[in-house]
């Protein structure tokens, strides 16, 4: 399959490496010409289960080279989706399928504004990927990738999705096609709502949220608020999302959440796509979400260096 991965971050490089090793024709598209040139020269270094691999992957910053692509994997941060889509839209290969792999739910708006000729679906993954340096990625833990559409697809799109799942599976990445991807999206969102902002605020690994009483209380309140918002939109979520979130804290106790890593590295966070998105929907529906608002404000203050 001819695949272009947009965004050479941790997940983009993991997919490039696995799908490339799986025999697919993979290219990376970056928005920074300098980094694209560096990656094109050095290739992708990939570490998995104690083995190191090196792959030469074509990397470009020119979206005009998308021409003959069958599958686009959008792996940029949530806040970069709008710009990334604007850059590729004019070069969208006819009949190509784009799968978007962002945290949170803020990417649904820009994706929903694409013209009908641009076919897209969503990917939700629990694969662990850590970027050590540009183009140097470690597969931090094997997970599952779920692929699906928000709107009922036509036959051709459905077949493309099945083919994408088969490409993942053939490349050693567990993958499945799901009927209602919104369910998987919100399941992941609820976990991120409970863990990400609080680990960044308490500057602690995921497991510590279980042992700091005030943090645990805020986690429970934030997840319960978000669950109310999901149910108000008729999104089927698990019966006890708090228990699931607490279990993720236990299972990933030593992990530093992606938001904590962003805050420590003084990078922009995905707060508006996670807790901030819950607040925004709550406002629209007239459902108060005070804990999520407080978490959003606190992280935004950290981002601006005022907290």
In the complex, minimum distance from the CB of residue 129 to ligand PAF, in angstroms, rounded to a whole number = 11
Q: Let me know if 77 is a catalytic residue.
A: no
**Applying CB under 6 A, does 78 fall inside the site for ligand PAF?**
no
**Applying CB under 6 A, does 196 fall inside the site for ligand PAF?**
yes
Question: How many residues in the shown chain lie near ligand PAF by CB under 6 A?
Answer: 10
**Applying CB under 6 A, does 255 fall inside the site for ligand PAF?**
yes
Of 22 and 143, the one with the shorter C-beta distance to ligand PAF is 143
DSSP reduced 3-state for 106: coil
In the complex, minimum distance from the CB of residue 206 to ligand PAF, in angstroms, rounded to a whole number = 5
Per-residue binding string, ligand PAF, 235-254, x by CB under 6 A, is -------------x---x--
Q: Answer whether 39's CB lies under 8 Å from 61's CB.
A: no
In the complex, minimum distance from the CB of residue 61 to ligand PAF, in angstroms, rounded to a whole number = 27
In the complex, minimum distance from the CB of residue 186 to ligand PAF, in angstroms, rounded to a whole number = 14
State the catalytic residue, choosing from 18, 139, 188, 216: 188
Q: Answer whether 196's CB lies under 8 Å from 209's CB.
A: no
Q: Which of 160, 257, 289, 292 binds ligand PAF (CB under 6 A)?
A: 257
Q: Give the phi and the psi of residue 54 in degrees, each rounded to 5.
A: -130, 130
Segment 15 to 44, residues that bind ligand PAF, using CB under 6 A: none
Place of tokens 């490089």: 13
In the complex, minimum distance from the CB of residue 47 to ligand PAF, in angstroms, rounded to a whole number = 19
> Tokens standing for 43?
């290739």
Segment 165 to 194, residues that bind ligand PAF, using CB under 6 A: 191-192
**Applying CB under 6 A, does 195 fall inside the site for ligand PAF?**
yes
Task: Using CB under 6 A, list all residues that contact ligand PAF.
Answer: 191-192, 195-196, 206, 248, 252, 255, 257-258
Catalytic residues: 188
């Amino acid at each position: 399959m001819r695949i272009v991965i947009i965004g050479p971050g941790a997940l983009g490089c993991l997919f490039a490496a696995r799908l490339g090793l799986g025999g697919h024709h993979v290219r990376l598209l970056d928005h920074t010409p300098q980094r694209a040139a560096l990656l094109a020269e050095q290739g992708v270094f990939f570490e998995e289960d104690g083995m190191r691999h090196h792959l030469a992957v074509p990397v470009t910053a020119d979206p005009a080279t998308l021409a003959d692509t069958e599958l686009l994997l959008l792996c940029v941060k949530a806040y970069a989706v709008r710009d990334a889509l604007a850059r590729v839209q004019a070069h969208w290969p006819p009949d190509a399928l784009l799968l978007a792999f962002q945290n949170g739910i803020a990417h649904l708006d820009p994706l929903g504004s694409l013209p009908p000729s641009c076919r897209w679906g969503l990917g939700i993954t629990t694969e662990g990927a850590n970027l050590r340096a540009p183009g140097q990625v470690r597969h931090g833990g094997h997970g599952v990738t779920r692929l699906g559409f928000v709107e009922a697809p036509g036959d051709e799109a459905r077949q493309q999705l099945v083919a994408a799942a088969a490409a993942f599976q053939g490349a050693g990445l567990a993958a499945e096609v799901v009927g209602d991807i919104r369910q998987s999206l919100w399941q992941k969102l609820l976990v991120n709502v409970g863990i990400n902002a609080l680990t960044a605020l308490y500057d602690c690994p995921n497991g510590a949220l279980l042992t700091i009483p005030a943090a645990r209380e805020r986690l429970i309140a934030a997840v319960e608020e978000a669950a109310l918002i999901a149910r108000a939109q008729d999104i089927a979520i698990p019966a006890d999302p708090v228990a699931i979130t607490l279990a993720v804290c236990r299972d990933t106790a030593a992990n530093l959440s992606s938001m904590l890593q962003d805050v420590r590295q003084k990078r922009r966070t995905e707060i508006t796509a996670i807790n901030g998105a819950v607040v925004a929907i709550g406002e629209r529906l007239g459902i108060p979400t005070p804990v999520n608002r407080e978490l959003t404000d606190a992280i935004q203050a950290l981002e601006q260096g005022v907290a």
